[in-house]
Amino acid sequence: MNWIPRVPMLLGLWCVALAGPLLAEEVKIPFDKLDGDYLTQVRRVADGASFTVTLPHEDVKSNLETYDFMLDHLPFTARVVRGLGLGKYVILPQRADMVVLDDKEGLRSRMTLLLRDTGLRVYYTVGVYDGPVLPKMRATAVIVLTYRPTETGALSTDAKIWFRIESPGYRILAAFVKPTARDEVRKKSVVFISAAKTVAERLAADPTGFREQLRGIPLVKAEELAELDRQLIAQQKEDAQQTEMPKQ
């Protein structure tokens, strides 16, 4: 019977399909790496989350060092995005580990970087949403971003948000507003990740041309470009040393 030889192949495909989700890396809050005053707040958000949002997996066509630079300099990254006409949100520095994000469409939040590790970032945010889609709402959130190099040279990125509605009235109505609120959180809470991806990929695609373009953006400061140049030059030297053939 013709179908008999196909059974092993079909079983193999079935097993691969089942294995895919099992092999996917689940984004978790690394409680064992967190300490200080924020650990209690993080557990409070995680244990009492109104909902969670897992962002779609994305590949960032850039190297680890450039992507790290954009995440380490979020006010700079946001100004580049505004200067290119790709967004209108503002990110302002408050202190070394804290920024304030205003998307100019109803969301204003204070975001604190709790953990910076290789390929791992954990943020704690306190924010207010007062936009056209939903009534005014106060909320706290924990955002975990993971990223790792792939064989293609890109970065494989995943992120998850634990979102806790703090407004009493909203918590009562959470079941009714959850679908709309989840969509707004998915779009608004991680604009800084999208900004880092956009700028890092453009820089990787055309390092010289894009840096010249940045010099023509009034919002971009000369000292920031100088720091970016130092980072890129250091990375080029490191790449050259790694690829240099040993002398005979």
3-state DSSP assignment of residue 219: coil
Confidence (pLDDT) at 17: 37
Q: Pick from 133, 131, 126, 134: which is nearest to 166 by CA?
A: 126
Q: Pick from 55, 54, 27: which is nearest to 194 by CA?
A: 55
pTM, two decimals, is: 0.83
Distances (CA, A) of 11 to 8, 17, 50, 190, 198: 5, 10, 40, 40, 41
Confidence (pLDDT) at 182: 84
Each residue's pLDDT, cut to its tens digit, for the chain (248 residues) gives 444 444 343 334 333 333 333 344 689 999 999 987 899 999 999 999 999 999 999 999 999 999 999 999 999 999 999 999 999 999 999 999 999 999 998 999 999 999 999 999 999 999 999 888 888 889 999 999 999 999 998 999 999 999 999 988 776 666 677 788 888 888 888 899 999 999 999 999 998 899 999 999 999 989 988 998 888 777 766 666 665 655 55
Q: Output the six-digit token pair for 185.
A: 């959180």
Domain-by-domain residue ranges, the chain? 31-237
Q: Output the six-digit token pair for 7.
A: 């059974």
Show Cβ contacts of residue 48 under 8 Å, excluding neighbours closer than 6 positions: 164
Q: Quick check: 140 and 164 in contact, CB under 8 A?
A: yes
Among the CATH numbers 3.40.50.10330, 3.30.450.80, 3.30.530.20, 1.10.600.10, which is that of 31-237? 3.30.530.20
- Count the helices and strands in the chain (H runs, E runs): 9, 8
Integer Cα distance of 70 and 195 in angstroms:
8
For the chain, list the strands marked E by DSSP.
51-54, 58-60, 90-95, 98-102, 107-117, 120-129, 137-149, 155-165
Confidence (pLDDT) at 186: 85
Confidence (pLDDT) at 232: 78
Other Cβ atoms within 10 Å of 67 Cβ, number = 25
Confidence (pLDDT) at 40: 94
Confidence (pLDDT) at 142: 98
Integer Cα distance of 171 and 137 in angstroms:
10
